[in-house]
Amino acid sequence: MSRKSHKALIGITTCGQHGALPFSVARDYLDAVRAAGGTPILLPPGETDPSILLEPLDGLIISGGGDINPVCYNGCNHPSIYSVDCERDAFELQLAKLALESHLPVLGICRGLQILIVGCGGTLIPHVPEVYGTSVLHRLEPEAGKRLPTEHIVKIDVKSRLASCVQNTHISVVSWHHQAVHKVPPGWRVVAHALEDEVIEAVECEYHPWALGVQWHPELSANDPHHQRIFQAFVQATVRQWSIVNSQ
């Protein structure tokens, strides 16, 4: 890459196309990237060679969305599983693998965290309430046509990259998920839990310069400095990585 005036190009995965519905992603992701100084590029599923899409990018955000097909992690089906998109699963699992192998900075958000974990051999809890109960509502029951995120407190490992990013060890987060990480694969470590029920809320890759997954939606709290700093740190990491690559 040889851009004279560098501004980080950040790829953001999108939901798949269902019938007449278009590929889509919430604008909050784009706004958060732009506020942090990056330029968002949308990555719809279906590309047969995802490496072509990653080549011009400086960083990758794997966005939220429907559940991952349990087949991808040898899991069991569950009546609560919804919006499975096998094309998107295959596409994002490939993207995640390529990004990690190439040391491209990557941020997984909600489903995106789960893609990173599943792609590296980890597993998921099909339905959080069946394992952790309902002391924390990680997702309110949806109403027709409405998205109902919920808030709770997350505690963060003081020695983690995430704690350095948000400059705190306890923050309020906005969640929208009913699944969570079960088995963490080798090379990843858990760096945050829900305060009350201990659900895994964030993971970091130990062999990668900057790979972070958060189970909540920081883009929905973009005006909160703690969540802004996640995107700022991510974009800064992409610029540093670009500088390293282009100085070699």
To which residue do tokens 């309110």 refer? 140
Pair 165, 151: CB distance under 8 Å: no
Whole-number Cα distances in Å, 71 to 68, 89, 118, 156, 177:
8, 10, 10, 31, 19
Residues known to be catalytic: 110, 217, 219
pTM: 0.93
Q: Are residues 59 and 106 in contact, defined by beta-carbon separation less than 8 angstroms?
A: yes
- Give the pLDDT score at 69: 96
- How high is the pLDDT of residue 222? 79
Kindly report the number of other CB atoms within 10 A of residue 13's CB atom: 30
Sequence-distant (≥ 6) Cβ neighbours of residue 94 within 8 angstroms: 50
Query: Would you write out the chain's pLDDT as a tens digit for each of its 248 residues?
Result: 444 457 899 999 998 876 656 788 999 999 999 999 999 999 999 888 999 999 999 999 999 999 999 999 999 999 999 889 999 999 999 999 999 999 999 999 999 999 999 999 999 999 999 999 988 888 766 555 556 678 999 999 999 999 999 999 999 999 989 999 999 999 999 999 999 999 999 999 999 999 999 999 999 997 899 999 999 999 999 988 766 666 55
What are the tokens at 190?
A: 């858990």
Output the pLDDT for position 2. 44
How far apart CA 14 and CA 88 sit, in angstroms, is 8
pLDDT of residue 247: 59
What residues does each domain of the chain span? 9-247
- Kindly state the tokens that stand for 103: 């040391």
The CATH homologous superfamily of the domain defined by 9-247: Class I glutamine amidotransferase (GATase) domain (3.40.50.880)
Q: Is residue 122 within 8 Å of residue 185, measured between CB atoms? A: yes
Does residue 110 sit in helix, strand or coil?
Answer: coil
Which is it for strands 211-214 and 200-205: parallel, antiparallel or unpaired?
A: antiparallel
CB 43 within 8 A of CB 49: no
DSSP 8-state assignment for residue 68: P
The two most distant CA atoms of the chain are separated, in Å, by: 53
